[in-house]
Amino acid sequence: MTLFWLYGAALAAVVLILITRPLLKGPAEKRVSRRDANVSIYRDQLRELDADLAAGTLAQADHERARRELETRLLEDAAAAPEPAPAPRSRALVAALAIAIPAFSLGLYFFVGNPGALYLEIEHQANARQLEAMIERLATRLRDSPEDVEGWKLLGRSYGVLGRYREAADAYAKAAVRAPRDAQVLADFADMLAMSREQVNLQGEPEKLVLRALELDPENLKALALAGTAAFERKDFAGAVRYWRRMLPLVAPGSEDARSIQASIAEAQSHGQTEISRKAALKGTVRLSPGLKAKVSPDDSVFIFARAAQGPPMPLAVRRVQVRDLPLEFSLDDSMAMAPGMSLSAHALVVVGARVSKTGQATPQPGDLQGLSKPVANDASGVSVLIDSVVR
């Protein structure tokens, strides 16, 4: 029995380590982020300025100016290279597990774990608060100096890094009023305006801003990317491809940017081909001959299909309805294909048929009722199919 309890305690310790370790560890354990390092440097430089002010070697006005310059450089660096937010720590879960697992297991965890990561996380949060404080000081300064275009642009980028998209859009709006021919400001304004919406999209005012930016600078990368995205959103896939192709000469061949753009172009082309196939549908009407109505019931299955006029008998597109639906206006397209490579759009001439199946099976059976059209184009409309014969 003693051996059993020892094994149980050891197993509990292993489980605690495996479960809680991913929750307590994160990138902060391994390294200090670039933003945190910059904030630390800022603090050192600020302490030097304060020391010079206290020693009388630096005037108050020069001290304030130097401090604003330090903050501006720090905010620009943070906005230019934003880092992903650290994964949220499930501390409540860790606490619950710590209570639930025996004290022996908890002690073993603290022996082999790394609680020191907690202090790095606290430091990271303190740095984030200091950045937010600097952003708020910049916002306050801009209220007193509203014509500072560069300040509004920096404020917009900074709010964007923090995910405060509505405030970012407001800052870029003020910059755009003061610099209406700055294509980059208009593109950034459009981006933040779209992000601030409950359902993120570029339709309406954001797209107008993007198109205006392209009028001013046809080679603005961000405006081209956003214009392509706006076209993609409204299913103008050809338009999206045109905008994104204009980006390729502006980036290094073979770079990650080039590969990402190529992937977006391929996706748009794929969607566009599917859209073309669906639009190029075969349409018509199926009717049942009055002389055969006594031979069917309302629940009998009706298969409407198209097959190649010259080629394999396998249907290229099939739709299933019931006798009660007749007469019926139908539409067949590539989304109704029975097998890969056997699509309606791949055959110029097809025959349209409709069959009432007494058994519910797709393959013809003696006693089924059927009607066929003459060969027609694969995107014909107004095709008429009359079910008027019995399958022998």
Taking only the tens place, the pLDDT of each residue in 325-377 is 999 999 998 878 877 667 888 888 999 999 999 888 888 899 999 999 999 99
3-state secondary structure of 25: coil
- Say if CB 371 and CB 353 are below 8 A apart: yes
73 or 209, higher pLDDT: 209
Contacts of 239 (CB under 8 A, 6+ apart): 228, 231
**b or e along 309-329 (b: 16 or more beta carbons within 10 Å of the residue's beta carbon)?**
eeeeeebbbbbeeebeebebe
H or E element at residue 383: strand 383-387
Picking from 113, 134, 117, 109, the residue whose alpha carbon sits closest to that of residue 38 is 134
3-state secondary structure of 332: strand
Taking only the tens place, the pLDDT of each residue in 45-71 is 667 767 667 777 777 777 677 677 766
3-state secondary structure of 7: helix
DSSP per position, 30-75 = H---HHHHHHHHHHHHHHHHHHHHHHTSS-HHHHHHHHHHHHHHHH
Q: What is the pLDDT of residue 357?
A: 93
Q: Mark residue 112 as left, alpha or beta (left: phi above 0; alpha: psi -120 to 50; beta: remaining).
A: alpha
pLDDT of 1 higher than 50? no
Give CA–CA dist 309/349, Å, rounded.
6
How are beta strands 389-390 and 301-308 bridged, if at all? unpaired
Residue 92: both structure tokens together = 């409540």
Residue 8: both structure tokens together = 């149980």
Lowest mean pLDDT among 65-74, 243-252, 372-381: 65-74
63 or 185, higher pLDDT: 185
Give CA–CA dist 269/259, Å, rounded.
15
- Peptide bond just before 327 cis, omega within 30 deg: yes
Q: What is the pLDDT of residue 126?
A: 56
Q: What is the pLDDT of residue 79?
A: 57
pLDDT band, very low/low/confident/very high, at 108 (cuts 50, 70, 90): very low
- Say if CB 367 and CB 356 are below 8 A apart: no
DSSP character at residue 342: B
Give CA–CA dist 134/151, Å, rounded.
13
User: 């430089």: which residue's tokens?
Assistant: 45
Q: What is the pLDDT of residue 212?
A: 97
To the question of pTM greater than 0.85 for the whole model, the response is no
Q: Could you give the percent of the chain with pLDDT greater than 90?
A: 46
How are beta strands 383-387 and 369-372 bridged, if at all? unpaired
Q: What is the pLDDT of residue 334?
A: 80
pLDDT of 171 higher than 80? yes
Give CA–CA dist 327/285, Å, rounded.
7
Give CA–CA dist 69/47, Å, rounded.
15
Burial of 88 (0-12, 13-18, 19+ CB in 10 A): exposed
Residue 339's Cβ-side half-sphere holds a number of Cα atoms within 13 Å equal to 7
Give CA–CA dist 84/186, Å, rounded.
25
Give CA–CA dist 223/185, Å, rounded.
10
pLDDT of 162 higher than 80? yes
